[in-house]
Amino acid sequence: MRIDTHQHFWIYDPNRDTWITDNMSSIQRNFLPNDIAQTLKDNNFDGVVAVQASQSNKESHFLAELAQAYKMIKGVVGWVDLHSPQIDEYLDEYQKYNIIKGFRHVIEGEEDGNFLSTDEFLNGIQSLTKYDYTYDLLIRPRHYESTLHCVRANPNQKFMLDHIAKPPIKSQEFEEWALFIQDLSSYPNVYCKISGLATEADWTNWRLDHFTQYVDHVIKCFGKNRICYGSDWPVCLLASSYEQSIEIVQDKLKYFTQAELDLFWGLNAVNFYSLK
């Protein structure tokens, strides 16, 4: 099974979706499964994981309902308030949606560098573990230390690092990010999506070799059993076509065996998210 582990769907709302700024005008519109279905077929993908783009319980229900209508959606990463004292009640309610595999918060938008190490957040993660949900990590450098603290405190929780932690590809800075990846990958319960790369580069002037040191480092650190592909569609369209988002990664897999390619393009995601 070939899986794109990171796609977004939304009915655009300018009041809600303020993160889509005016320099992103090309994605200030609706994006739904019919908009990508043929492209997925053309690129031999069997399905996708739909990931939250806004932060409300309504978003989780929206994605779960889309999955009922579109079989291409093999799993959903929704949103839930991990800080809520009612977290167990929320997760108990979500049990009726088998398609919801885990949750995510847009931590990169949180100015507090300690966001992942607060007692409330850690309590929420413990609840996810209890209910066997995954957690996607969307972070910036200010969250590196609290991310490591959170992962270290929750060895039985399945974590997925989104967009290889958004390294500064445009400026080609490397060392701080590389050390973090090395530390994070030492925890066997953490996987990594090689995704969202073009939008961290110069949107209009990137080359394939701009991504090489970052992708190579992730493969070296996480190995071939804990990495998977994600397009970050439609956000990727700001800097690349869907096919180019594939090419950026595929270019770095020349020495993978067929079995290793099968893991990267699908089987690792099936294992992590328990997809069917």
Helix (H) or strand (E) holding 192: strand 190-195
Would you state the pLDDT for residue 78?
Answer: 98
- The span from the CA of 254 to the CA of 42, in Å, is 22
Q: Which of 275, 273, 265, 271 minimizes the C-alpha distance to 228? A: 265
Please state the pTM of the whole predicted model. Answer: 0.96
Mean pLDDT per 10-residue segment, the chain (276 residues): 97 94 94 97 98 97 97 98 96 96 97 95 97 98 97 98 98 97 98 97 96 98 98 98 97 95 98 96
Q: Mapping DSSP to helix (H, G, I), strand (E, B) and coil, where does residue 227 land?
A: strand
Would you say 1 and 266 are in contact if contact means Cβ atoms under 8 Å apart? yes
Quick one: pLDDT at residue 251?
87
Is the CB of residue 170 less than 8 Å from the CB of residue 200? yes
Structure tokens at 188: 């066997």
What total number of domains does the chain contain? Answer: 1
Residue 153 has, within 13 A of its CA and on its CB side, a CA count of 16
CATH code of residue 11: 3.20.20.140
Report the alpha-carbon distance of residue 255 to residue 266 in Å, rounded: 17
Q: Is 48 exposed, middle or buried (0-12, 13-18, 19+ CB in 10 A)?
A: buried
Span 246-255, pLDDT tens digits: 999 998 999 9
Half-sphere exposure (CA, 13 Å, Cβ side) for 207?
4
Structural domain for 159, as ranges: 3-273
